[in-house]
Amino acid sequence: MALALVLAAVSPEIGGVLVRGEKGTAKTTMVRGLASLLPAVRVVDGCRFSCDPADPDPACPDGPHAADTAVVTRPARLVELPVGASEDRVIGSLDLQQALGAGQIAYQPGLLAEAHRGILYVDEVNLLHDHLVDLLLDAVAMGRSTVEREGVSVAHASRVVLVGTMNPEEGELRPQLLDRFGLTVEVAAPRDPQLRAQVIRRRMAYERDAVGFAAGYRSAERELAERIRAARARVGAVRLADAQLVTIARVCAGFEVDGMRADIVTARAAVAHAAWHGRDAVVKADLRAAARLALPHRRRRNPFDAPGLDEELLDRLLDAEPDPEGPSTGSGPEDDGGPAGEQGGPRPSTSSGHEESSGHEERSAAGQEGACPEPVDGREESEPPSPSTGSGQEGRQTIARAGQTYRTRRFVVAGIGAGEAGRRSRAVTDAGRTIGVSPIGTYGRGLHLPGTIRAAAPHQRARGRTGGGLVLRTGDLRRPVTEGRESNLVLFAVDASGSMAARRRMEAVKTAVLSLLLDAYQRRDKVGLVTFRGDSATLALPPTSSVDAAARRLDALPAGGRTPLAEGLLCAAETLRIERVKDPRRRPLLVLVTDGRATYGPDAVHRSRLAADELRRTGIGAVVIDCETGRLRLGLARLLSVRLGADHVEVDDVAAGTILDVVRRERAA
């Protein structure tokens, strides 16, 4: 992580750093520590947009700047972008009363302007709202931030080094934003007791005397800052041979990355790595270090693939041709080490240790709620498969694997909601089709100019208007009410009983649910997983934004035993009740995957009907995926869907089908 941050500081053109890892690994602490190491920047005195005196922005809102304008030197900035920031705070805002009343543009810069020529840091970047992600994508891609509102256009330079940290348990990044990060690293807490004890000692020493603790490292920080400054001055003179460009292209093609950005970032990172180690030419060690940081997040083929890199394949691709520069002059631990030259450097991108932690934490989090019983020892997920079973052998278990995923139909919650913007159900959101106006401070963002004028026009005489501008009051301002789509909570309740254990049936079920999970990921939904078999129902995964975690739980789900349908419905109802208290705006969608049979306990069928009636009274939107196959069908899942007031879909009809079918369903929705 330290090496990746330093390379981004040496060569900002690399495109920033994404840090993935478990909580409590000092991700934020290390990023904030980078700010004091960055070289100072020269700016035009009085310019709120940090224009470079050597190359001022000709379109700067505070410009144009004369050639003899005063120049000041200030430290480079590290600006933090909160996850809950408003759009106006990110891109800046206009003084609406001056713009409409006096006809003057008064622009207040936002965080993107403040971070120009510095670092923009986003903690928990995977939780950033979609409309803010769109703004970041535009600024990072174009190097400019543009405000287009109410007929007013303001643009300014916004070249930032984007640094983001995230915990993968809480969900993944949008692919477009993920690709904009030049480098990525995986971090985890050390397992060595001595290292962990050292962390504790340093933390306690800092709490006792923060000033004295920092003073003890001041000399080392000065040396590190000087090394970064020297490397930044050297990076433009580092030679990258044509043969090495071919090697970079071969490596990127060998890992089947999409597009050409990976090749360019790898080349820039290799040059920065050589400059960091004081070399005038790139060597093989630089190419290897750059590929390990630039490629892991670009080789993912679908959202359920963990980022990583096959280092044996990397070495084979690098060794396909001899290094034109000869042996590395800096071989050894330092080549892949961090700024302090510590051994180890970036570790291979693996996720096994993290997934173990993730699974334990997810189970612990759900256990606090007590909604449904949960696996506490992992046996349900790791139980080895038994010999092949049929649906009649209820005492045995088997684990079927999902097949190839496919594009699914879009299942929606009926009516119009008001949840977070997404891509599933209709809702009043911050972006979309304008359906009305409201006083400022209620729904929507921005200003609705016609509505504002209509609200102010009847009062102009009473307000003593004499000039050409409107006399506005705060109560006149109107915002648009827009209808778009929201994200939902999609709770999967999966029947894993013996009647589902026939290999082909469970294969089809897992493939369908996995495809629906992929659809939920693309639509920015939260997901949860309830399973029922034997004598109970289990909340296998509490509602979360981590679709990857749901896919892992589903993949390891065994099948066998009786069918406690009533328990499954009640567990789903209790889970949704708790989630409604936590997030009342997010509407749920229950996806019940079953053949409709109820075989556990006395009066199993009657209890299942009562549970279905209870669920229906809550008004929860639901879909029943009918898994019954074969010529002789009982139709129990269809009857259950009627009882629930839910849509009934056979498992073979989950796929989107033809374009004509999609159009018909979209119109009906």
From residue 122, give the alpha-carbon distance in Å to each of 19, 250, 261, 368, 584.
Answer: 10, 33, 22, 29, 27
Question: What radius of gyration do the chain's Cα atoms show?
Answer: 29
Please write down the HEC assignment for all residues of 460-490: CCCCCCCCCCCCCCHHHCEEEEEEEEECCEE
Q: Quick one: angle between helices 2-10 and 218-234, nearest 10? A: 50
From residue 272, give the alpha-carbon distance in Å to each of 223, 232, 371.
Answer: 18, 8, 52
Residue with tokens 């004295």: 212
The Cα 325–Cα 177 span in angstroms is 35
Please list the residues that pair with 590 across neighbouring strands: 491, 622
The Cα 520–Cα 574 span in angstroms is 22
Per-residue DSSP letter, 625 = E
Question: What kind and span of H or E run contains 165?
Answer: strand 161-166
The Cα 402–Cα 512 span in angstroms is 8
Q: What does residue 74 show for φ and ψ, rounded to 5 degrees?
A: -135, 160
The Cα 336–Cα 195 span in angstroms is 20
DSSP 380-436: HHHPPPPSP--TT-TT--B-PPP-----B-----SS-B--SEEEEEEEEESSSEEEE
Q: What does residue 605 show for φ and ψ, rounded to 5 degrees?
A: -70, -45
Residues 6+ apart with CB under 8 A from 104: 98
The Cα 144–Cα 586 span in angstroms is 34
The Cα 508–Cα 404 span in angstroms is 10
Identify the three-state secondary structure at position 163. strand
Query: Cis (ω within 30 of 0) for the bond into 387?
Result: no
Identify the three-state secondary structure at position 129. coil
Please list the residues that pair with 539 across neighbouring strands: 530
Q: Are 590 and 491 in contact (CB under 8 A)?
A: yes
Buried-exposed string 186-223: b where 16+ CB fall within 10 A, e elsewhere: bbebeeeeeeeeeeeeeeeeeeeeeeeeeeeeeeeeee
Q: Tell me the residue type at 202.
A: R
Catalytic annotation, residues: 261
DSSP 549-601: HHHHHHHT--B-S---HHHHHHHHHHHHHHHHHH-TTS-EEEEEEE-----SS
Tokens of 241: 């041979």
Q: Tell me the residue type at 493.
A: A
Burial environment of residue 351 by CB neighbours within 10 A (0 to 12, 13 to 18, 19 or more): middle
The Cα 298–Cα 289 span in angstroms is 16
Residue with tokens 């639509």: 523
| Angle, alpha carbons 486-491-493 (nearest 5°) | 155
